Each structure stands twice: as structure tokens, then as C-alpha cells.
Amino acid sequence: MDNTYLIIAKLFFLLSLSAFGGGNTVLPSMHMAAVSQHHWMTNQQFLDLFSISKAAPGPSTLIVELIAMKATGFSEESHFLFFSAALGALLAILAIFLPSSLLLLVVSRFWEIFQGMPWQYTIKKALLPITAGLILGSTWIVAKTAIHGWITAAMGLISLIMILRTKINPIIMMLVAALLSRILFKYIPFSDGF
Amino acid sequence: MNDQHEERSPLSQGRNISLGQLAKLFFFISLTSFGGGATAYIRRIIVENKKWLTNEEFFSGLALVQLLPGANVVGISLYIGNHLRGIPGALIAACCLIFPASMIFFGLGFLYFYIGELPSIEIMLKGAGAVACGLMASMFVEAAKESLHNLIDIFLFLVSFLLVYAAHIHVPYVIFMVAPIAIWWYRPRASKTISQPSSSPQETQNNYHG
């Protein structure tokens, strides 16, 4: 078996268990491993994969699949190897999701067993305000990259109000906003900045 | 009805959910969730549209997920699946969330590496990103309603937010710094355990249902 598979399995296995606070926290380590350490891709390619993972549906942590595809199926010397790429992709998905998922399952089984006990109530009451703080923190971080200028600010605000007040599926709002921004940014000057 | 499920979710309507329904919904979520707002999107669908979980159940699950490593979207799906249908439910929810999307990733990866070009999606992403932001903000509004009941809650909330936002401290460190104080404050006390549940009717049911 090719060494690359082993490297991929080990890399993502370790990152799976160190991704405290979500998948985004280990992106810098992925970048370092894929670009400077193993030379699987250029810096620009990594950035492109990052924007693909943000634009594609599903968990953006699936960027590991793209990294593994490049490493196993599209190496510089050979042309495209479908099965190698598919195998690498599957391996990366299992390595990144399985360890953290098993840990979470064990913990949440205990969590359900202790349902109703005083200490479980304590922990729940204690963690909820912190969770609210963390959610606002990550909202702020998303806002810093997503909100540029008054058009996106207005879109964010309008969608917030619509989500709180109506039952419209956010996907419909996203599609409308995507089409709107395609039109607005093309025809309104200085729309991309305050 | 199965005793186990009755025990798990006293308030939500989630106890009659079949594995098939779970699979179908997470398959749908897999193909329609995008970027930063994915966890908020799941809350919107599971809590508000389907009413399979209450806000309280959802956010205590999210608290657990944030405490442990791994992608939040996958974690919350595992939690929801486990809460509704035990281990099989968790596995089905997570697999149906990951694998349909992974097919699309594979296709996009193939296009990118083989043809070497990205479709110009950047401008359209601007609008979608703004909506994702609104979605996240709406989750914050709901979380605040669910968790901020008194001054100490607001204090804990503000400290955690400022540690993440202003001091740029990583999430797990924030939890390990603030949680001990919070747990100490809410520790079971003889006088408090009696008075606490009556403060909120939801908690009363949840505490004594087992």
C-alpha cells in the first residue's frame, strides 16, 4: 500500500481529536501539512479548495476529501487515478469524522443516562450561557468575512428578521440573495464597501 | 411505545420519528446546508419546522458538542440522532449528512483538478454568506432566550463572548476557563435544588420525567 494513504489516515485521525471548537480550528494545520510539509498542492490550490468547501453543500470539513483526492489521485507524475482518488477520499472522511464521532457518542450516551440528575442539571445550566457567548462569537467571525458594505449588511439584517418572523426555508433566502447580489454588485457602483 | 424513547424526550414530539424519516431529513440537510450557518440551519429545521427537539434539548446538545473535538455540524447531527433513536439514529443522521455531500465534493474536486477551473461563484456567495450570517444571528437570539435567565447568566455569556471575540482565545480554553465558575455557581445545593426546577416549568418536567 502506498505510503500516502498512511500519511492521510494518520494526519486526519490526529486532527479529528484535536479539532476542539469545530473543524475550522484545524484548517491551519491542514494547510501546513498539505502545502509545506507534503507538497501535495500549491498555496493557491489550497485556497481554491477552501472556497469550494465553503460553497459546496454539506459540512465544510469535507475539505479533507478534496485534499486527499489531490494527494492520492492527482499526483504530478501520473494522470488521474479514479480508484486511488476515491479510496483516498473515503479514507480521509473516515479518519476525520470517526474518532471525534465515537468520542461524542460515548459522552452523549452518558449524558442521556444521567438525564434528570442534579449534576447534569448543573452542567446544563452552567454551559448554556457559555454556548450563547460562543455562538455570538462565531456569528461575529462569520460576519467579519461575509458582511462587506451596505448591501450585504442589509441582506444579513433582512434575513435575520425574516428568519425570526416567518417560517421561510433559509435556502430560498440564500438563493434569492445569491441572485440579487449577482445583479446588484454588477450594476450599482461602490456597493462593495462603506 | 418504547420505554427508552419516552424517557428521552418528554417535551418534543421526537419520540415517534422513524430511522427512515431521520435518514430522509439529514439527506436533505446534507444537500441544502451551506457554510457557516449549517448548525443554525439544522436548528431551524429540526426545532422550528419539524419540532423533533425543543430549543432546550437542542442547545444543551450543542453545549456538549462544543465541549468535544470535531466538526460542529456532524456533532449536532450525532446528538440529534442519538437523542431520538439511540446509536442507530446517530449513525444514520451522521452518515446521511456526510455522504451525499461528499459525492458532490468528489465531483467538484474532479472538475477542479481535472479541468483546473473554478466556476465563478464568488459574487453569488456574497449574498448567500450574508444570509448565513442572519441565520447564525437568529440562532444566537434563540440561544439567548433559552439560556439567559438572570444576571449571572448574562455575566457568563458576556465573559465567554469577549474571550472569543476580543481576546481571540480558542473555544475549548474559553469553556475550561468559564465552566468551572458556572458549574460552581449552579452546583446542587440543598436549598437550590428544591427551588430551581420551579423557576421554569420546562425544567420541572425535564427533571422529574425519569
With an 8 Å Cβ cutoff, is A47 touching chain B? no
Chain A residue numbers touching B118 (CB-CB < 8 A): 48, 51-52
B156 and B76 fall within a common domain: no
User: Could A130 and B8 be called an inter-chain contact, meaning their C-beta atoms sit closer than 8 Å?
Assistant: no
User: Is B68 part of a structural domain of the chain?
Assistant: yes
A18 and A97 fall within a common domain: yes
Inter-chain Cβ pairs, chain A and chain B, closer than 8 A: 380
Q: Is A124 exposed, middle or buried (0-12, 13-18, 19+ CB in 10 A)?
A: buried
pLDDT at A75: 74
A20 and A96 fall within a common domain: yes
Q: Residue B165: which domain range?
A: 148-210
Scanning the structure block, which residue is given the C-alpha cell 425570526? A164
For B36-83, the pLDDT digits (tens) are 678 999 999 999 999 999 999 999 999 899 889 999 999 999 999 999
Pick from B74, B104, B137: CB nearest A97: B74
User: Is A194 part of a structural domain of the chain?
Assistant: no
Q: Residue A54: which domain range?
A: 3-108
Contact present, A61 and A96 (Cβ < 8 Å) = yes
B68 and B120 fall within a common domain: yes
Chain B residue numbers touching A133 (CB-CB < 8 A): 156-164, 174, 178
Residue A90 has which C-alpha cell? 473515503
d(CA A30, CA A46) in angstroms, rounded, equals 9
With an 8 Å Cβ cutoff, is A142 touching chain B? yes
DSSP string, A34-52: IIIIS--S-HHHHHHHHHH
Pick from B60, B68, B135: CB nearest A124: B60
User: Could B69 and A20 be called an inter-chain contact, meaning their C-beta atoms sit closer than 8 Å?
Assistant: yes
3-state class of B18 per DSSP? Answer: coil
B131 and B81 fall within a common domain: yes
How many domains, chain A?
Answer: 2
d(CA A32, CA B140) in angstroms, rounded, equals 33
User: Is B120 part of a structural domain of the chain?
Assistant: yes
A30 and A104 fall within a common domain: yes
A74 and A146 fall within a common domain: no
Q: Which helix (H) or strand (E) holds B19?
A: helix B19-32
User: Could A112 and B83 be called an inter-chain contact, meaning their C-beta atoms sit closer than 8 Å?
Assistant: yes
B173 and B92 fall within a common domain: no
User: Is B140 part of a structural domain of the chain?
Assistant: no
Candidates B82, B131, B160, B163, partner chain A, best to mutate (most A CBs within 10 A)? B131
Candidates A130, A161, A181, partner chain B, best to mutate (most B CBs within 10 A)? A130
d(CA B140, CA B145) in angstroms, rounded, equals 9
A99 and A121 fall within a common domain: no
d(CA B148, CA B144) in angstroms, rounded, equals 5
How many domains, chain B?
Answer: 2
User: Whole-prediction pTM value?
Assistant: 0.82
User: Could A135 and B164 be called an inter-chain contact, meaning their C-beta atoms sit closer than 8 Å?
Assistant: no
d(CA A86, CA A99) in angstroms, rounded, equals 21
Min Cα separation A1/chain B (Å)? 22
With an 8 Å Cβ cutoff, is A42 touching chain B? no
Among residues A108, A135, A156, the one where a domain terminates is A108
A35 and A82 fall within a common domain: yes
Nearest Cα neighbor of B94 from A61, A15, A64 is A61
pLDDT at B181: 93
> How high is the mean pLDDT in each 10-residue block of chain B (210 residues)?
43 72 96 83 92 92 90 95 94 97 92 74 74 90 91 94 86 87 87 45 40
3-state class of A57 per DSSP? Answer: strand
For A66-113, the pLDDT digits (tens) are 999 999 988 766 677 888 899 999 999 999 999 999 999 999 988 888
Among residues A108, A140, A169, the one where a domain terminates is A108
